[in-house]
């Protein structure tokens, strides 16, 4: 058995914590676009149902809310955030040290397992092999830590402004329920869904049974509740993006500090945002 030590810097621990929360924030942001897209689609289908007898079905009439080129740019930046967060975790986490442990142990085993008698005769004693392997492992860890502590602060610092800009742009995309963005589009799509549902009831009530009419009317308050829930989720996603920018800035600015209470508070808030949103997005109906 070879002895291996442990020395992970505070920055690398913080980077791993940030990366987990940032990955969740990126997923929630992708879900925000998808939720608005799904609702826009449902509103178009509701409109088709009401106007079908008069206008029939034109396959080109159903369109995506986000034009392809604009959505591609968002997808690319969200995937970039995912990749950035994942790589940050990979280089900051235990993986390089675990790989080092595995390989140094393999080296020790190779030294001890000479199969030929000729080599066995000059193979070092097991105790010496253990000592050498432990020393080599320690050296490897120092090299890993040195490389990380030299490169990571620079990368984090370089990404401070881009991450702030990305979060601000995505928050602007989410917008305001009355003024702009995804929140306004969601509000208007639900207004259309509700109006078209009312039109459907009024146009068909003569041929509906009382139970059918009741079932159709019961959909109206459900739509209103979904609208309110959807807007709350988008508002939370907006806050999550703001928290992600703040946590990343704190991570970059405290790269050389042993303790960072500010970062701890910010990343805990970001993690809470992510936990709450993840469940809500998964529970929302899709098209």
Q: Which residue lies nearer to other proteins by CB, 76 or 275?
A: 76
Dist CA 71 CA 32 (whole Å): 12
Dist CA 96 CA 92 (whole Å): 8
Smallest distance, other proteins to C-beta of residue 279, A: 27
Binding letters toward other proteins, positions 253-282, x by CB under 8 A: ------------------------------
| Site for other proteins, residues 186 to 205, rule: CB under 8 A | 188, 191-192, 195-196, 198-199, 202-203
| Site for other proteins, residues 164 to 183, rule: CB under 8 A | 165-166, 169-170, 172-173, 175, 178-181
- Residue 227 as a binder of other proteins (CB under 8 A): the answer is no
Helix (H/G/I), strand (E/B), else coil: 239:
helix
Smallest distance, other proteins to C-beta of residue 276, A: 26
Smallest distance, other proteins to C-beta of residue 114, A: 5
Interacting residue with other proteins among 77, 217, 220, 235 (CB under 8 A): 77
Would you list the DSSP string of 113-181?
T--SHHHHHHSPPHHHHHHHHHHHHHHHHHHHHHHHHHHHHHHHHHHHHHHHHHHHHHHHHH-BTTTBH
Q: Which residue lies nearer to other proteins by CB, 143 or 215?
A: 143
Q: Give the tokens for residue 191.
A: 């207004």
Q: Which residue lies nearer to other proteins by CB, 48 or 268?
A: 48
Interacting residue with other proteins among 23, 31, 39, 185 (CB under 8 A): 185
The angle at the Cα of 276, spanning 247 to 171, to the nearest 5 degrees, equals 50
Stretch that binds other proteins, among 2-10, 92-100, 232-240, 260-268 (CB under 8 A): 92-100
- Residue 155 as a binder of other proteins (CB under 8 A): the answer is yes
Task: Find the length of the chain.
Answer: 287
Q: Which residue lies nearer to other proteins by CB, 199 or 276?
A: 199
Dist CA 132 CA 135 (whole Å): 5
Interacting residue with other proteins among 113, 229, 257, 286 (CB under 8 A): 113
Q: 63 φ, ψ to 5°?
A: -130, 160
| 87: CB partners within 8 A, 6+ apart | none
Smallest distance, other proteins to C-beta of residue 277, A: 21
Smallest distance, other proteins to C-beta of residue 265, A: 25
Q: Which residue lies nearer to other proteins by CB, 172 or 275?
A: 172
Interacting residue with other proteins among 3, 62, 87, 215 (CB under 8 A): 87
In angstroms, how far is CA 164 from the centroid of its own chain?
Answer: 16
Dist CA 234 CA 206 (whole Å): 39
In angstroms, how far is CA 250 from the centroid of its own chain?
Answer: 19
Smallest distance, other proteins to C-beta of residue 270, A: 18
| Site for other proteins, residues 42 to 71, rule: CB under 8 A | 47, 50, 65-67, 69-70
Dist CA 29 CA 237 (whole Å): 6
- Residue 115 as a binder of other proteins (CB under 8 A): the answer is yes
């Amino acid at each position: 058995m070879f002895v291996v030590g442990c020395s992970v810097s505070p920055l690398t621990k913080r980077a791993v914590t940030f990366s987990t929360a940032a990955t969740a924030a990126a997923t929630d942001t992708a879900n925000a676009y998808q939720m608005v897209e799904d609702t826009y689609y449902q509103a178009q289908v509701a409109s088709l149902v009401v106007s079908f007898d008069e206008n029939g079905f034109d396959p080109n009439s159903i369109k995506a809310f986000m034009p392809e080129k604009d959505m591609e740019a968002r997808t690319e930046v969200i995937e970039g955030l995912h990749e950035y967060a994942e790589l940050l975790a990979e280089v900051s986490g235990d993986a390089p040290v675990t790989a080092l442990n595995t390989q140094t142990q393999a080296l020790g085993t190779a030294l001890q397992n000479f199969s030929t008698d000729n080599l066995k005769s000059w193979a070092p004693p097991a105790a010496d092999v253990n000592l050498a392997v432990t020393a080599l492992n320690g050296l490897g860890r120092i090299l890993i830590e040195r490389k990380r502590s030299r490169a990571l602060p620079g990368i984090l610092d370089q990404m401070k402004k881009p991450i702030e800009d990305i979060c601000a742009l995505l928050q602007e995309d989410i917008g305001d329920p009355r003024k702009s963005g995804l929140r306004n589009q969601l509000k208007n799509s639900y207004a259309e869904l509700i109006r078209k549902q009312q039109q459907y009831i009024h146009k068909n009530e003569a041929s509906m049974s009382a139970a059918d009419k009741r079932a159709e009317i019961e959909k109206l308050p459900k739509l209103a509740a979904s609208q309110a829930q959807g807007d709350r989720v988008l508002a939370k996603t907006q806050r999550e993006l703001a928290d992600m920018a703040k946590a990343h800035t704190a991570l970059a600015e405290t790269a050389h500090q042993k303790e960072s209470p500010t970062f701890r508070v910010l990343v805990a808030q970001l993690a809470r945002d992510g936990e709450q949103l993840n469940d809500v997005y998964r529970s929302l109906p899709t098209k």
